[in-house]
Amino acid sequence: MVVTMLAVILVIGGGAIGGGSTGTAAAQSIGSTGSAGGEGSVGTGSWTDGTGSDGTASNGTTSVTGSLGTASYARSPLGSWMPGVVGSLISEPDLDPPGLETLRAEMMPSPLGEPFFDEYPPGLDAMENGEVIETRDVTPVARQLLSEPVREVRQFKVKTTDAADEPSFATATLIVPAAPWPGPGPRPVVVNNVPINGLGRACTPSYTLAHGITPSTNPYERLRPVTTQAEQRGYAVLITDHEGPRMAYGEPIVAGRAILDTIRGMRNLYPAEFGDSKLALTGYSGGSIATHGAVKLIDSYAPELADDIVGAALGGLPADFEMLGRTMNGNLASGYFLAALFGVMREHPETLPLINDLGQRLLISSLKDQCISDLALLGVLHIPVEALANVKSALNTPVAHDIYTDLKMEDLKSGTPLYIFHGGQEFWVPVLGARNLFDEQCGYGVDTVYRQVPGEHIIAPFTGTPGAFDWIDARLAGEPAPSDC
């Protein structure tokens, strides 16, 4: 794989990745003074948005938290070898006119050879959002991967709408526990938006639940067993493939619509059992991006669900893409940042003219199908966005700022109460973004709880999930939502 080959070359050569000179725009310094402060204890240091004490953008002072990646490395002569190495591994894209349309088609995830995940059915534009296209029973395989006895594990595919308001589809998996629900009322449903954090269709949780453990399996949900905890409480679990067929990692509009339409699909399939069920949404990291999109689209996109979605718990939310450009670009987190950037570009083609030849080669390479583990490995290369752009300060262009605004969705009120938790020692995903969301939604009158928990991005889900589940239990039991506003 391209990622592995590049990583091996980096280790053998002992070099540092950065902005290049061969046919690329020189990477711009994002600042090397000031401190991101994210290494500190719970409190002020971890609240940084990546801006130094002198007001300049800064990614910190180390290759872990930044400026060596985004500023010093990006401008270093050591970075000049990168385009040549990539060019020797990846063929130059064959972009016959019209080039950008061809590039967008070639950067999409590769087909799996499985119509359930690959095919846009005929007549999609005439269907209603949430209309069921296809279903399949995957209980025999899925029950081997689940900790609790199940009655049924069913996957289904529904019509949805992409970020450009064009017809699309979404897939999901519904897990129904074997034990009868003791009541009162219908069995509740936890909508578990797993942090897929991948670019290939095999990265989705539904692919794993249908095929078993594969090299593409995302280990995150098995380490943070939200599904197991929900099953133990007797809840049904709806696991969404919220990135959509284009695998638009990091794009909340696509994800939010996919989540709401798969809820509609579940109700269309099981009107007697789940037509009146109470629902709670949850997600961490990449899954919280999806949950964030869903809650802000309830009132405008699926208002009929508003009374039954009783709350949403979001943890480790990358709430502000502009902040992430200062804290995840050009350091060990750059693999995920670049992957999210590529995912967003799949739904926002207005970004494609900013990509240089090197970026185009990466977009259409095997990187487009990589999952969470390989994308983490990509961070070893410390690739800054500036090395892949044909303009200076690519993250500070009008196009970039339009994208930041779209992804924040800050003009929208959540259609349900919120529980927000975030690690106090975060240095890649600033806690300030989560705090800003809390303040934003309090301003709209939403009942919102905020909890800062011990740990950074890896530890925080373990310290924060118990409190989030207690809050979900109370909402599904009909208790009024508290508020810290």
Pairing between β-strand 150-161 and β-strand 132-137 as defined by DSSP bridges:
antiparallel
Domain count of the chain? 2
- Domain end residue (candidates: 356, 382, 405): 405
Residue 391's pLDDT band, with cuts at 50, 70 and 90, is confident
Domain-located, residue 401:
yes
Half-sphere exposure of 144 (CA within 13 A, CB side): 9
Q: Looking at the structure, do residues 233 and 351 belong to the same domain, yes or no? A: no
Cβ 186 vs Cβ 268: under 8 Å: no
Instruction: List pLDDT tens digits, range 174-218.
Output: 999 999 999 899 999 999 999 999 999 999 999 999 999 887 787
Find the range with the poorest average confidence among 7-11, 81-85, 323-327, 469-473.
7-11
Tell me the percentage of the chain whose pLDDT exceeds 70. 79
Q: Are residues 335 and 309 in the same domain?
A: no
Of 292, 130, 259, which Cα lies nearest the Cα of 192?
259
Q: How many CB atoms lie within 10 A of CB 300?
A: 10
Residues 44 and 167 in one domain: no
Residue 329 lies in a domain: yes
Q: Tens of pLDDT along 66-89?
A: 433 333 343 333 344 454 555 555
Determine the pLDDT at residue 82: 52
If asked whether residues 27 and 98 sit together in one domain, one would say: yes
Let me know if residue 483 belongs to a domain: no
Most confident of 5-19, 85-99, 410-424: 410-424
Model confidence at 48: pLDDT above 50: yes
Of 405, 427, 443, the one marking the end of a domain is: 405
Tell me, yes or no, whether 161 and 277 share the same domain: yes
User: Which residue reads 């789940």 in tokens?
Assistant: 274
> 264 or 222: whose pLDDT is higher?
264
- CATH assignment of the domain containing 302: 3.40.50.1820
Q: Do residues 441 and 310 share a domain?
A: yes
Domain that holds residue 358: 2-108+322-405
Are residues 184 and 287 located together in one domain of the fold?
A: yes
* 440-459: average pLDDT: 96
DSSP state, 389? B
> Both 252 and 312 in a single domain?
yes
Please report the pLDDT score of residue 60 as a whole number: 38
Assign 100 a pLDDT band (cuts: 50, 70, 90): confident
**Is 264 exposed, middle or buried, given 0-12, 13-18 or 19+ CB atoms closer than 10 A?**
buried
Give the number of C-alpha atoms closer than 13 A to the C-alpha of residue 63, restricted to the C-beta side.
11
Least confident of 30-34, 252-256, 264-268: 30-34
Q: Number of helices (H) and strands (E) in the chain: give both, helices first.
A: 20, 9
> How many CB atoms are located within 10 Å of the residue 147 CB?
12
User: Domain ends where: 405, 428, 453?
Assistant: 405
Instruction: For residue 289, tell me if it sits in a domain.
Output: yes
Assess if residue 278 is contained within a domain.
yes
Do 89 and 125 fall within a single domain? no
Asked if residue 484 belongs to a domain, the reply is no
Determine which helix (DSSP H) or strand (DSSP E) holds 439, and give its type and residue range.
helix 431-443
CB atoms within 10 A of CB 105: 10
Beta bridge partners of 447: none
Q: Is position 182 within any domain?
A: yes
Instruction: Decide if 481 is inside a domain.
Output: no
Judgement on whether residues 349 and 274 belong to the same structural domain of the protein: no
Residues 144, 382: Cα–Cα separation, whole Å: 38
Say yes or no to pLDDT of 55 above 60.
no
293 and 178 share a domain? yes
- 293-339 pLDDT, tens digit each: 999 999 999 999 999 999 999 999 999 999 999 999 989 999 999 99
Instruction: Let me know: does 153 contact 146? Beta carbons within 8 Å.
Output: yes
219 with 73, same domain: the answer is no
